[in-house]
A and B are shown apart, each in its own frame.
Chain A
Amino acid sequence: MNVYLDNNATTIVDPDVFTAMEPYFVQKYGNPNSLHSFASETHPGIKTAMEKIYEGIGAHRDDSVVITSCATESNNWVLKSIYFEYILTGKKNHIMISEVEHPSVISTAKWIESMGCKVTYLPINNEGIVDVQAVKDHITDKTALVSIMWANNETGAIFPVEEIGDICEEHDVLFHTDAVQAIGKFPVDVQTFNVDYLTFSAHKFHGPKGIGALYIKKGKELMPLLHGGAQMGGYRSGTLNVAGIVGMGMAMEAAVSALKFEMTEIRELRDNLEDELLKIKDTFVVTPREKRTPNTILISFRGIEGESMLWDLNRAGIAASTGSACASEDLEANSVMEAIGAAEDLAHTAIRFSLSRYTTKEELDYTLETVKKAVERLRGISSSYAYAPEGHESGLDAHHN
C-alpha cells in the first residue's frame, strides 16, 4: 500500500483542478496580453479563477492579489521590496521575523541583514508558538516590517497573527504573513484582521506547482521585483501562467468548500492516529493539537534517528518527512525542535505526518502498524536502548539505558 502523508510539502492535484487546466495547454494557449481572439478566449477563465482566489481569502475588489510563480517568490518580493523602499533609503532600519519562518523568509532576511538592515529573529515558546509579547518588546518606530507565518510547516502550530497585526497597526508597521500552510486548513479572511501582505501557494491545497500569489492590501503598494512587460498591473511582469491561474482558482474554491471536512473529519483522523502513536512508549508531541492545523503531527520517537524512521516507512510505501540532520543536505537538527528547546536528544528524532482530505482511515491504520514495526526494529538497533554492563561510563545521552 502506498500512503502519502507529506501534504505539508506538497499535495496531489485535485482531478477536477487538472481537468479545468487541460484546455489551456493545447486549445486555449494564447498569450492573454495579445490582441487577437487566441488571447481573449483565455480571459473568461482567468477572470473566473481570479474571482475565486479573491473570494477564497476574502480580499476586497480594490485589493491586489498578484499571481507569482510560488510562495518563495512572494516572500522574497515582500522582504526585498521593503528593503529597497524603506531600509536602503534610510527611512527605517529594522524588520522582524520569527526564528521558525520558512527558508524563503529566513534566507531573504539574512541577505537583507548582510546589506545593513537590523533583523530580529523572534523566539517561539515551548508550545512552538511565537509570543505576542516578544513582538511588543522588539517593535520600534524604525521597524519597517513584521513577517510572521500564520501556521508553521513543521509543527502545524498556528501563530497569533490577529494580535500581531494589531500591534503592527498601533505602531504603523507593515505586516506580512506567510499563509502557505493556512489555506484549506482553517478559514482565511484578510478582512477580519490587520494584514498588509499575505503569501500563499496553490500546490499546498491540491492545486498545481509553479503558481503562487501575494495579497497586497489597497494602499500598501509594493515596488515590483520582476520588471518587464507590466503584466499583473505592472506589479509582476512575466507572461501569465494561464493554466496555473485557472488551476489555483479551482483549487481555492475546492479547498474552501472542503474546509469543514478538513476541520472535522480530517482532524478526527489525525487525532486518532496521534492518540495511537502516543501510546507507543517514549513518544512526544510538542504543540497542543487545538493550537495546530488539523492535518499535522510532529512526533518524536526517542532513540530513533529521523532518517532511519523515514527509511523504514519508505520501504513500506509510506511518505512522511523530517527536518532532522541526516535527511536534509545540511547537518542541522530539526529547527523547530531546537527553537522549542526540546530535550537535546530529541532534536533528531522528529517525524512529521501531514494528512490531506484524500487521506483515508485504512491508510492510517496501515501507517500505524508500520510505525509500530519500525519502532521495534529501530529501537532494537539503537544504542539508546542498548545493554551496558554495570558501572559503564556512557558517553551517550544515557538517561534511559
Chain B
Amino acid sequence: MIMEKIAELFIILILVSVVLNVSSPFIKFAIKLYSFQSLMLAFYILMGAVHFNSINLYGSFVITVIFKVILIPYFLFKTLKKVKIDKEIDMYIGIPEAVVFAGSLTLLSNLIAQKIVTVGITFGAFVFTISLATFLIGAMLMITRKTLFSQIIGFLTIDNAIFLAANSITHGMPLLVELGVLFDLFVSILILSILILNLRRNAAA
C-alpha cells in the first residue's frame, strides 16, 4: 500500500518535470530535467518491483537507470558542447500560454483516462492520466519548439510516457523486449546527434 502511495509521488514528479520543461527556456536545464524524469520513472519501476516482487521489474529498473538517466543525457550534453547552439530555446508561442496549454492537455487526458481505465487496475492511481498527459505535452513540445535539439527532448518525453504506461498496466514487460526498445532509443539518439553535428557543419561550411 505504502509502496503504491510512494510510487504515485514519483509519477507526479514526472509530470512536474515535464511542466517545468515547458516553462523553462534553457536547453541544459531541459536535459537535466529529462534525466531527472527518467530517474523518477526508474524509481516508479523500482517501487513496482518491490510491490510485485518481480525480477523483471528489477532488471527494468537497472537498465532504465543506465540508459535513460546516465547514457542518453551524457550524449546529449556531449553533442550540445560540440554544436555550441543557443542556450535559450525559441518557441512559437509564449511560455505562460504554453504552460496553460499543457495544463489543459492534462485536463483532457484525465477526461480520457476516466473513460478508459477504471480505478484499481493500474499500479498507483492516476498513472494513466499522467502518462497520457506526458505524452501529449511531449508532442506539444515537439510541435511548438523551433530547434531540432529541443524537439529531441520532446521525443524522449514521449518515449518516457509510453514506457510509463506500459509499466503501469502490464506490471512489466519481458526484459528482452525492454532491452530492445531501449537500444532502439539509444541508437536513435546517436543518429540524431550525428545528424545535428553534420547539419551544423554543413550550415557552417
Partners in one complex: no
- The interface of chain A, by Cβ under 8 A from chain B, is none
B residues at A contact (CB < 8 Å): none
